[in-house]
């Protein structure tokens, strides 16, 4: 579904350039539900905004389904945003209208794209657990309920890819669990591919695959050891609370065979600009360079 190779994004302002993505490699399979984690400023939102068609990539390759986002025209981008992707933000105020009802909010994007379907709008609100509240104005709903309306809106045009940037960032744990359950249901039953950007490790532990971005590059990947344990509840019952309990960690190699060594390891070994590397037939050993007399 998503194939991204050596993706570069440079933001240019008057006198400075920020390289937000420095050759990012990520693939996401159709129907997958995965998370992206990373420190503040590592480039997570930049990546999601490029996938959502809100920002243009500077170089590299990024494809979503049939679309090549590096070459897409402005007209095609409008179609892409309307038909292929749905977007959910932490602060959903930007795609909700407070004086309309929940149902009217979901119907609006359908009207704009000429595919009005009241029955589907109602079904979406039922899916997110708001059957009883669909006639309420947005301002009469709690923050968590509004976030669930935002999920229904993001699905109004039947996208095949759902992008969520910190979707549980401003809700309590109970609502956060409910949102994750909704995502899993949408993923299973509608086959929607879901990419979630999050700081929340507990949330990341609930998906099958987590990709960590460090300094604008893919660094580490965590794959679930037992994909049969899926909801948070089963994991909690099995005493698997942390991501390291649930996932196996892998370092990511790019096409040229480069890998990122965590800063902490380099500092511990006092490795700076070079290291010595040895292959013993089974393992690759990286050590500080031998002192030269």
Ligand X SMILES: Nc1ncnc2c1ncn2[C@@H]1O[C@H](COP(=O)(O)OP(=O)(O)OP(=O)(O)O)[C@@H](O)[C@H]1O
Interface ranges with ligand X (CB under 6 A) = 11, 13, 18, 20, 38, 40-46
CA triple 150-152-156, angle to 5 deg: 115
208 CB-near residues (< 8 Å, 6+ apart)? 32, 33, 34, 223, 224, 227
Paired residues of 99 in beta bridges: none
Give 20 or 102: the residue with its C-beta nearer to ligand X. 20
Smallest separation, CB 131 to ligand X (Å): 33
Give 18 or 238: the residue with its C-beta nearer to ligand X. 18
Smallest separation, CB 42 to ligand X (Å): 4
H helices, E strands: number in the chain? 10, 13
Smallest separation, CB 181 to ligand X (Å): 24
Q: How far apart are CA 54 and CA 38, in angstroms?
A: 20
Q: How many CB atoms lie within 10 A of CB 62?
A: 24
Q: How far apart are CA 196 and CA 174, in angstroms?
A: 18
Give 20 or 26: the residue with its C-beta nearer to ligand X. 20
Strand-pair category, 161-165 with 85-88: parallel
Give 50 or 156: the residue with its C-beta nearer to ligand X. 50
Smallest separation, CB 36 to ligand X (Å): 9
Give 101 or 176: the residue with its C-beta nearer to ligand X. 176
Smallest separation, CB 46 to ligand X (Å): 3
């Amino acid at each position: 579904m998503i194939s991204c190779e050596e993706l570069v994004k440079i933001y240019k302002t008057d006198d400075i350039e920020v390289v937000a993505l420095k050759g990012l490699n990520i693939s996401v399979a159709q129907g997958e539900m995965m998370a992206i984690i990373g420190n503040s400023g590592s480039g997570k939102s930049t990546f999601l905004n490029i996938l959502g068609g809100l920002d243009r990539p500077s170089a590299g390759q990024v494809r979503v389904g049939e679309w090549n986002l590096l070459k897409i025209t402005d007209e095609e981008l409008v179609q892409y945003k309307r038909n292929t992707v749905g977007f959910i933000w932490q602060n959903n105020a930007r795609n909700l209208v407070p004086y309309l009802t929940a149902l009217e909010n979901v119907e609006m994007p359908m009207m704009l794209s000429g595919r009005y379907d009241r029955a589907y709008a109602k079904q979406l609100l039922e899916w997110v657990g708001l059957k009883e509240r669909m006639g309420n104005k947005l301002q009469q709903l709690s923050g968590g309920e509004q976030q669930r309306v935002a999920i229904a809106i993001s699905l109004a045009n039947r996208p095949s890819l759902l992008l969520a940037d910190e979707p549980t960032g401003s809700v309590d744990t109970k609502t956060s669990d409910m949102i994750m359950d909704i995502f899993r249901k949408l993923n299973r039953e509608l086959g929607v591919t879901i990419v979630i950007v999050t700081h929340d490790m507990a949330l990341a532990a609930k998906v099958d695959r987590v990709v960590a971005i460090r300094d604008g590059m893919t660094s580490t990947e965590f794959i679930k050891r037992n994909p049969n344990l899926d909801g948070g509840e089963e994991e909690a019952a099995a005493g698997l609370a942390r991501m390291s309990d649930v996932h196996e960690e892998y370092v990511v190699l790019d096409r040229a065979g480069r890998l990122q060594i965590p800063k902490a390891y380099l500092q511990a070994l006092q490795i700076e600009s070079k290291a010595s590397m040895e292959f013993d037939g089974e393992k690759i050993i990286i050590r500080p360079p031998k002192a030269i007399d």
